[in-house]
């Protein structure tokens, strides 16, 4: 089924979840690796372009995912979950959505304000414009530096949340033995 049922996530939600998850995990590693490379390393520039292209794709997919979710509610949490666990699940999912939009937006804002004016070419195809207003700020270097800190802090928070999220999914599967992990996996029969 393309849409969610009251027992499991549908194909659209599952595909978007795993596509975005894989891309984000790759991007956390790529971001750390590329920013550590010396300026004279030949792969630095193409890796930054790749990072920006994948990051803007994650931003677009996340907006599509939120739109889909608005019309297609997720399956309810299992009845056995105590109130604090429900609250933690809802809060962490909401925080993930905020970060899935906030991390790439902060990255885009950072490169838009950069005094280096390096163009962002989406997978070598077309140029992405800067976010409005940021190329005209009075002190571009200070703005870029503040946004760099913001992008980095939000990305690290995402990494921390990912550890909690994976821990919760494994707890559901191996400890509570409920269907929470299975219903987000493709090709599983949940009833």
Q: How far is the CB of 78 from ligand HEM (least distance, A)?
A: 9
Tell me which residue has tokens 């905020």.
98
Shorter beta-carbon distance to ligand HEM: residue 55 or 143? 55
CB of 22 vs ligand HEM, minimal distance in Å: 8
Residue 60 has which token pair? 């677009």
Nearer to ligand HEM, 138 or 160 (CB): 160
Nearer to ligand HEM, 76 or 139 (CB): 76
Which position's Cβ is nearest ligand HEM?
31
126 - beta bridge partners?
Answer: 122
Shortest distance (Å) from residue 156 CB to ligand HEM: 7
Q: List interacting residues with ligand HEM (CB under 6 A).
A: 17, 20-21, 24-25, 27-28, 31-32, 35, 48, 51-52, 55-56, 58, 69, 74, 77, 89, 93, 96-97, 100, 103-104, 107-108, 110-111, 120, 148, 151-152, 155, 158, 162, 165-166, 169, 180-181, 183-184
d(C-alpha 53, C-alpha 8), whole Å = 32
Indicate the angle between helix axes 83-113 and 44-71, nearest 10 degrees.
140
The 10 Å Cβ neighbour count of residue 27 is: 20
Q: How far is the CB of 138 from ligand HEM (least distance, A)?
A: 21
Q: How far is the CB of 131 from ligand HEM (least distance, A)?
A: 9
What's the helix, strand, coil split of the chain in %, to 5?
Answer: 65, 5, 30
When the beta carbons of 39 and 138 are compared against ligand HEM, the nearer one is 39
Please check whether residue 68 is in contact with residue 16, taking contact to mean a CB–CB distance below 8 angstroms.
yes
In the beta sheet, which residues pair with residue 70?
none
Between 24 and 134, whose beta carbon lies closer to ligand HEM?
Answer: 24
Helix (H) or strand (E) holding 120: strand 120-122
């Amino acid at each position: 089924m393309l849409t969610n049922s009251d027992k499991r996530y549908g194909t659209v939600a599952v595909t978007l979840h795993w596509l975005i998850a894989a891309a984000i995990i790759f991007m956390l590693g790529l971001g750390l690796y590329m920013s550590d490379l010396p300026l004279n390393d030949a792969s630095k520039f193409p890796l930054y372009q790749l990072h920006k292209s994948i990051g803007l794709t994650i931003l677009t997919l996340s907006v599509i995912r939120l739109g889909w979710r608005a019309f297609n509610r997720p399956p309810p949490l299992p009845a056995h979950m105590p109130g604090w666990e429900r609250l933690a699940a809802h809060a962490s999912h909401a925080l993930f959505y905020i970060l899935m939009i906030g991390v790439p937006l902060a990255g885009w804002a950072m490169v838009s304000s950069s005094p280096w004016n390096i163009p962002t070419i989406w997978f070598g195809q077309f140029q992405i414009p800067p976010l409005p207003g940021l190329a005209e700020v009075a002190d571009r270097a200070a703005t870029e530096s503040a946004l760099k800190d913001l992008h980095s802090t939000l990305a690290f928070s995402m990494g921390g949340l990912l550890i909690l999220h994976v821990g919760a999914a494994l707890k559901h599967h191996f400890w509570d033995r409920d269907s929470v992990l299975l219903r987000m996996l493709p090709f599983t029969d949940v009833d």
